[in-house]
Chains A and B, each alone.
Chain A
């Protein structure tokens, strides 16, 4: 029963990460923190890819989520992690619900291009908005979690624990959703839209819903990254950021809700070390890896685990 095992692994990971958090060295906590946030973003991309859509503009929601958290802190004076993440969610739901109306009609490269255009619009806006720091962005910080003020020295752990809880909730929720009636339609739409319509389901509504879900996950991931790094800037909406998410999604594969987190952790680990030792060949490695995965492992890294079991 592979499904049960995923839930158990998730629960185990939740407990281990929460328990081990206070003893982790700062750098490891930071890296895990970013990996979990990025994994959450890629989890949303995975849902879109299961539906047969590749977004080159997920940076839009990643950036919106981060700026929503940032604005709560810097402009409204709210330093509560839970409230900041709620702000990220609210903004991304609102924007994606509207844009989803349009995007649900698009497929293939046209979906990719229109989503890219929207994210570049946000980039163009933020770069020229001096109230939000233009190209430099602005800094943010945290003071409490869900009303509980943070004791001295515990802020890092609080951010980390929030990321763990959000990632866990997202993964478990996604697992449930993919098993539900609507969730299962994703793969069907990818295979043959016409048949789905004949069966009486609305393709557009499912795509719209999946789009909003993926946007919220990107927004939460963005909010978490903003809080973790303590800084947000327009570069988060630039297309290369979205490209990195696409890369992780391809690397991970769409086989399991755990895959995006695995992929994001590998990506973040390799990136940290590559930045340190070989900053000018880092993208070279990425590109070659991506080609190898596309040609030899179309199911992503996750398919390595499942290959033997599926005949």
Chain B
């Protein structure tokens, strides 16, 4: 009984984290049809920025509670700089090429950002442990969880609901849906598609960076985290169906629960299980669980 509860809680925590790191990827794919390999690097940039901003804040002797704000500031800063830079400086030049070519372009961006991060922050592991320890822990029965995990869960719910509301309830969301549905038609009705792309990519970048900034207090931030995270994010969005918000949530829950189960019951297959699920879903539903059927255009 206790173990089931532990699996469930671990699963929820891990799922929330997965959702935050993957949702930007699915958003960008949905609107721009770009499977962004560089998403992992933007996550890493967010984590590095969090150590820099948070570290500076604490070194200045400000109240440590403010370091949470600094995590968000770091994510927004990365989003507002790297997002437009990549979209305007590079992606704009290659729109209209095949999807696979776009994957390769973002893979090149991934390689470039890997080294730029190393040049900017060095190769030694960095950390920003304060926000993690500050909140103490909560007891659930005889299980103890850090309160920080609860923050991540809440934040992922807020991000998810916020995105869903924006998409379905606001003018900007409707415009975005129009672009997703038919880019040319949307442009013909006077929507500035180029700006929609810019804003989408910036938001997606900020979400990736937010994932990194949230994770930074719990890990040691070092080269290599980008490559690990991007394949996990791929697994999540591919399971749910590329471009689907609900799909990303479902994918995150599935991967999160499977991994939590594996960690408790069968630790040898922990890493394996995630990709086994991904392969199984792709085999049974090649376009993911929530994929929208596509009308064939001539």
- Residues on A close to B: CB < 8 A? 54, 56, 102, 105-106, 108-110, 112-114, 116-118, 120-121, 123-125, 127-128, 238-240, 243, 246-247, 250, 280-284, 286-288, 290-291, 294-295
Contact = CB atoms under 8 A, between A and B. Distances in A.
A117 B98 contact: no
Contacts of A117: 235, 238, 275, 278-279, 282
Interface in B83-116: 90, 93-94, 98-101, 103-105, 107-116
B271 A123 contact: yes
Contacts of A123: 271, 275
A214 to B, nearest CB: 16
Contacts of A127: 271
Contacts of A125: 272
A287 B109 contact: yes
Interface residues of B, number: 46
Contact of A113 (B238, B269, B270): B238
B275 A112 contact: no
Contacts of B286: 105-106, 110
B292 interface: no
Given A117-B235, A240-B227, A283 B115 contact: yes
B114 A290 contact: no
A291 B113 CA distance: 13
11 contacts: A108-B99, A109-B242, A113-B278, A114-B282, A121-B276, A127-B271, A128-B269, A128-B271, A246-B107, A286-B111, A295-B93
Given A109-B99, A295-B93, A121 B275 contact: yes
A123 B231 CA distance: 12
Given A116-B234, A124-B272, A280-B118, A287 B108 contact: yes
B227 A282 contact: no
Given A110-B287, A280-B118, A291-B108, A120 B231 contact: yes
Contacts, number: 120
B103 A109 contact: yes
Given A102-B283, A117-B279, A120-B275, A243 B100 contact: no
A105 B271 CA distance: 26
A283 B275 CA distance: 26
Contacts of A114: 279, 282-283
A290 B99 CA distance: 16
B268 interface: yes
Given A109-B242, A280-B119, 18 more contacts: A54-B104, A108-B98, A109-B100, A110-B287, A120-B231, A124-B271, A124-B276, A128-B271, A246-B104, A246-B107, A247-B111, A283-B111, A283-B115, A284-B119, A287-B115, A288-B108, A291-B90, A291-B109
Given A109-B99, A283-B112, A283-B115, A290 B107 contact: yes
B279 A239 contact: no
Nearest to B272: A124
A123 B278 CA distance: 14
A121 B252 CA distance: 18
Contact of B105 (A102, A238, A291): A291
10 A-B pairs with least C-beta separation: A124-B272, A287-B111, A287-B112, A124-B271, A284-B115, A290-B108, A120-B275, A117-B279, A283-B111, A287-B108
A93 B112 CA distance: 35
Contacts of B114: 283-284, 287
Contact of A294 (B104, B115, B116, B267): B104
A110 B267 CA distance: 29
B268 A281 contact: no
Contacts of A109: 35, 99-100, 103, 242
A56 B231 CA distance: 11
Contacts of B98: 108
B107 to A, nearest CB: 6
Given A240-B227, A280-B123, A121 B282 contact: no
B100 to A, nearest CB: 5
A118 B279 CA distance: 7
A239 B231 contact: yes
B274 interface: yes
A131 to B, nearest CB: 11
A4 B147 CA distance: 71
Contacts of B231: 116, 120, 239
B28 to A, nearest CB: 13
Contacts of B111: 247, 283-284, 286-287, 290
Contact of A121 (B100, B268, B272, B283): B272
Interface string B63-80: 000000000000000000
A238 B94 CA distance: 28
A120 B274 CA distance: 9
A189 to B, nearest CB: 14
Contacts of B118: 280
A240 B105 CA distance: 15
Contacts of A284: 111-112, 114-116, 119
A270 B79 CA distance: 33
